[in-house]
Structures are given as structure tokens and as C-alpha cells.
Amino acid sequence: MSDVNSLAVTAARPARRRSARAAGPAAAGLVLLGVLALSIGFGARQLSLAEVWQGLTDPTAPTYTVVHEMRLPRTLLGLLAGSALGLAGAVMQALTRNPLADPGLLGINAGASAAVATAAGLLGVTAFSGYVWFALAGAACVAVLVYAVGGGRGATPARLALAGSAINATLYSFVSAVMLLNAASLERMRFWTVGSLAGAQPSTVRQVLPFIAVGLLLALALARPLNALALGDDSARALGARPAATRAAAILAVTLLCGAATAACGPVVFVGLMVPHLVRAVTGPDLRRLFAYCVLLAPVLLLGADVLGRVLGRPGELQVGIVTAVLGGPFFLFFARRGRSRA
């Protein structure tokens, strides 16, 4: 009888695992929907759920303009940018084998910021459709530069972090110099440089969507090859992966995600660091599950930080980049110290 019971328990385990795996994304989706509702409802004027629904569906409602012209674009931009930054951080951590990799810490956001500052402050490009290409080029250049300076395929986490920090400092000094030398640029970019969703417009969401969508699809498609690459180049080739092509595609995906997100809402830091670490505790090392959860839960962090900034800063607001920096700084120090103690 005991053997029969043990066989029954063993047979039931895969079913429980499958149900748990199915329940996880559903729970993450529900949490994301709740944060989306909070983001639309909170602001200078707090709206009830009924008012939010009327504003979304009834063009004659008093809240229609507020919801459609201000709250909804801001929320959608936070959704897109959060997914982009969270997934970009997970791809970078897998590609560099650096658990502290983040688009902000390794200078990729700074590259996009420097390119946008050049376009807006020195070349007079003010439309998003114009300077987004500068942001993509800046992000790509810095991604390749950090990877090369950090040692390429032989890069260590410490060397990548040092290379990223040096490039970060240099590029942000350049951004500050451009803003100080150009008064119009200073006024136009003062919120953008700290990371903000406040200036989101429907046109910005429409223009940034194609870049982030392509980056998300490319990154998600790379989950299996990056899983193989974690075993080493020889093992990856034996499994049918192409290491050089995988690395090039990963850099392209990170460039699209970080460049577009930074062009739209400024250099928001630590989202790409915090979310993959928190998600990995649930999903384990399998990048297919990790990437999917990052797409769902990174917007929860970004929009949650945005709502928190609106609540704490009333009657004004704290920009979302400030809130994520305050939350992410201690998080980074904790994981850096834990990694050092393990070493």
C-alpha cells in the first residue's frame, strides 16, 4: 500500500508543477492590471474606478480628456518602458554573466542620453521621431564599447562594472555641460534627465511602440540560445546555437529596448537590475520563464514608483527616476555585498 501511495504522490507532482506554472503568469498579470488601474486613477486629481471607466469609454464624460490625454499615455508609456528596461536588464545579465548588469549601471542609458542631448541641445532636434534615432545610435555605441573595454568574451563582472562606471561618468558630464551651455535645452530637458513619465503624449506612445515591440520579440526569441550560451560556447554549438550571432542579436535587442525607452522617458535606472533578481528567485535560471516574468513585472515596479512619486510629492510630484534611484541604491548595495561575501 505504501508503494501505491508513493507512486500516486510522485505522479501528482508534475501536475502540481504545471498548475503552479500556469498560475504564476496569471497572478503577475492581475498584479499588473491593478497597478495600471492605480496609475490611471492617481494624479493631481484622484479619480474613482467609475470615473476612470467613464473617462475611458464615454467621450462626453468630464474625465475623458484627463484620462485620454494625460493619464492613459503616461500609463502606457510606463508599461512599455518598464517592460523594455526590465527585459533589457535580464538579457544583459545573461549575456555578460554579470548579476549586477543593468542598462543604467553599464552606461547604455547614458549613451542614449548623451546622443539625445547632442540632438536637442546642439543640433536643434526636438521631435521624438528625430532624436529617437540618436538615442538608438548612442545606446548601440556604448553597448559595444563597454563590452569591448570590459574584455569582450573574457569580460568579468568587475571589469564590466568599472568600464560602465567610467563611461557613465564621462557621458553624464557631457550631458550636464550641454544643458548648462544651452538655456533652452536646460528648460526642455530638466525633467527628462532625471527620468520622467510626466510629459507622455499619445504621439510618443505610438512612436516608441514599434521599437520596443521589435526589441521585446527579439529578446524573447533569444531566451533559448542564451540558455545554451550559459553552458559555454562549445556546448552551445553542440546544442545548435550560434554564439556570435546570439551575442550580436542580444546587443541589438538591448539597444532597441534601452534606446527607445530612454528617448521616451529619460534615463531611468535600477529597473533592469532589481526586477530580474526578484523574478529569478521565483523562476530559477531558465531564461524562458525569467524573460516572460520580467515583461509582466517590470512595469509593476516602474508604474508603482511613478504612483508613489505622485502620492509623496503632492501637490507636485517626484519624478519616477528619482524614486527608482532611491529604491535601487540600497538594493544594489545589498546584492553587491552578498555577492562579495559569497565569493
Segment 313-325, tens digit of pLDDT: 777 788 888 888 8
Question: What is the C-alpha separation between 222 and 62, in angstroms, rounded?
Answer: 46
Q: Is the pLDDT of residue 63 over 50?
A: yes
Which of the pair, 64 or 80, is modelled with greater confidence? 80
pTM of the model: 0.86
Q: Which CATH superfamily is domain 75-190+205-342 in?
A: ABC transporter involved in vitamin B12 uptake, BtuC (1.10.3470.10)
pLDDT tens-digit map of 228-247: 888 887 888 887 888 888 88
Q: Is the pLDDT of residue 7 over 50?
A: no
Average pLDDT over residues 217-225: 94
- Range from 20-34, 36-50, 89-103, 293-307 that averages highest in pLDDT: 293-307
Q: What is the mean pLDDT of the chain?
A: 82
Question: What is the C-alpha separation between 194 and 300, in angstroms, rounded?
Answer: 19
Give the residue carrying C-alpha cell 550631458.
Answer: 175
Q: Is the pLDDT of residue 253 over 90?
A: yes
User: Helix, strand, or coil here: 45?
Assistant: coil
Angle at alpha carbon of residue 215, lines to 139 and 323, rounded to 5°: 65
Q: What number of other Cβ atoms are within 10 A of residue 169's Cβ?
A: 12
Q: How confident is the model at residue 188 (pLDDT cuts 50, 70, 90)?
A: low
Angle at alpha carbon of residue 130, lines to 266 and 72, rounded to 5°: 50
- Range from 157-161, 233-237, 273-277 that averages highest in pLDDT: 273-277
Determine the pLDDT at residue 185: 64
Determine the pLDDT at residue 8: 46
Determine the pLDDT at residue 156: 63
179 to 116, 165, 212: CA distances (angstroms): 11, 21, 27
Determine the pLDDT at residue 36: 92
Determine the pLDDT at residue 32: 93
Determine the pLDDT at residue 343: 45
Q: Is the pLDDT of residue 55 over 60?
A: yes
Question: What is the C-alpha separation between 138 and 115, in angstroms, rounded?
Answer: 5
Determine the pLDDT at residue 187: 62
